[in-house]
Structure 1
């Protein structure tokens, strides 16, 4: 069944308009959590730079058992509005309704219930169906944006002159939208961000990485080859230190960066080999991310990058100069202030 679900998922994805819900960053080609965070930070920093007294409020919204509260009839109506064929909408409705469910613990099983609400947890289709169910949850004011990644939602209010009315009205509109769509807000887990410091985040990363150094030392004590030690470092330690690095490393303080780099230096002593430093990894991933965005005209951040004339004329360059022209796309001083802010998010020490 999961194989068939994958076929249906891919068919639905290929049938959707590219312009649909551009600020939903989940389940779309060339989108990830760091794209969502980068867009969020760029919007925030741009507004703060536009005028003295400007500030931003962010409300991170949590829904209780979001997948379990989807109304299939409402979902299929929305799928039809998106242009999906009636037969496919009917199949999805049939897939989600009259589902038998029971719970088994050991040799004990509960009585069977028939469910006609929600999308089954663990199904291949459920995350995509939820994102389509919420595609019409968008900001109503130009001074607000709503950024989504699957069932994670943040309302961003760009506030000037201490006028928060549009932001508060947006929250009220979101509350009404949730009620109309049978989604229950989890008030205890819905939080408003008041500080953009990354120190707590980097401290958490350093702590997790240091804990895994113990296992790296144990492997060394067992006299495993240096190559195996490096692979273990890459999979279990570097992956922690560099997760979404393009959106937070540029805003981290010098002290926080040094704390993270000390973990890398400790790993080098254990593995007896040179490992990539975080600054280099950060620059390389920024470059990779920038090139992907430039090549994707449907990406919400594509408009922030402008191709230089030298790159547009690369076909006329002598052999060997293509690489030099390509470098001019990067946000490290060549692509303009907008693209630089997107990737680097203020690459300085606080």
Structure 2
């Protein structure tokens, strides 16, 4: 039986107690349920935004074995780096979709109709470009978005008809996901959707960095909050 799991722990003021307790609880749970953690396949990624790192983090041990510390991992199809930049993930997606553009060209040369070519694109190329895009697309740089858009435009030229742009797909998915979270009181992120006294708008999440502002929850709250109507001046 193969199981993929992740543990997230907070290290505050160089106090790793909470983080170590999370690891210990996972180890004890696996032992109690007759599961063995494969330390050789376990990776540790530390996200540290401090400008000055005075002390190094203590190596993580599981059953006496040191867990390898890496700068990026692949988790559920996403390449996650220690600085939460999406360059590695974008490069992987672009490379994978460009390989499939070859088959799209082959199908066009075989005489398939535009409708079938679009179906192939939506199933085999767009599905890769949009994999978990609510997590990463909002934080992409302008260069990374340009690389992704180039794939769509190339496919559009092959198919011969307009294709949905990634910005529209991202906006629609954010709104859909945000709406479901706002209506689901059992979701961990539900508490972030706080209605204003009027009940017509949600309170924006206060952000101090662009990294946080472009992440999912601040974007989701803004996406499902109706725009404020312009003020009318009465003369």
Regarding TM over 0.5, the answer is yes
**166-175 or 240-249, larger mean C-alpha shift:** 166-175
Shift of 1:256: 1.5
Normalized per residue, which structure has more strand? Answer: 1
- Residue aligning to 2:186: 298
Distance 1:157 1:303, change over 3 A: same
Output the TM-score relative to the length of structure 1.
0.47
Q: 1:174 aligns with which of 4, 10, 26?
A: 26
State the Cα deviation string for residues 274-295 of structure 1 (Å, max 9, x = none): 1111111111100010111112
CA contact (8 A) 2:114 2:160 kept: yes
Shift of 1:173: 2.9
- Residue aligning to 2:99: 211
Matched position secondary structure for 2:9: strand
- Alignment coverage as a number of residue pairs: 179
Structure 1: gaps spanning 5 or more residues: 1-64, 67-150, 313-324, 329-333
Structure 2: gaps spanning 5 or more residues: 47-81, 208-212, 221-235
In terms of Rg, which structure is larger?
A: 1
Output the TM-score relative to the length of structure 2.
0.69
- Residue aligning to 2:116: 228
Matched position secondary structure for 1:256: helix
Normalized per residue, which structure has more helix? Answer: 1
Shift of 1:154: 1.6
Counterpart-to-counterpart distance in 1, 2:189 and 2:32: 31
Counterpart-to-counterpart distance in 1, 2:25 and 2:185: 31
Q: 1:264 aligns with which of 120, 139, 152?
A: 152
CA contact (8 A) 1:205 1:240 kept: yes
CA contact (8 A) 1:304 1:338 kept: no
Counterpart-to-counterpart distance in 2, 1:171 and 1:244: 26
Q: 2:164 aligns with which of 276, 295, 313?
A: 276
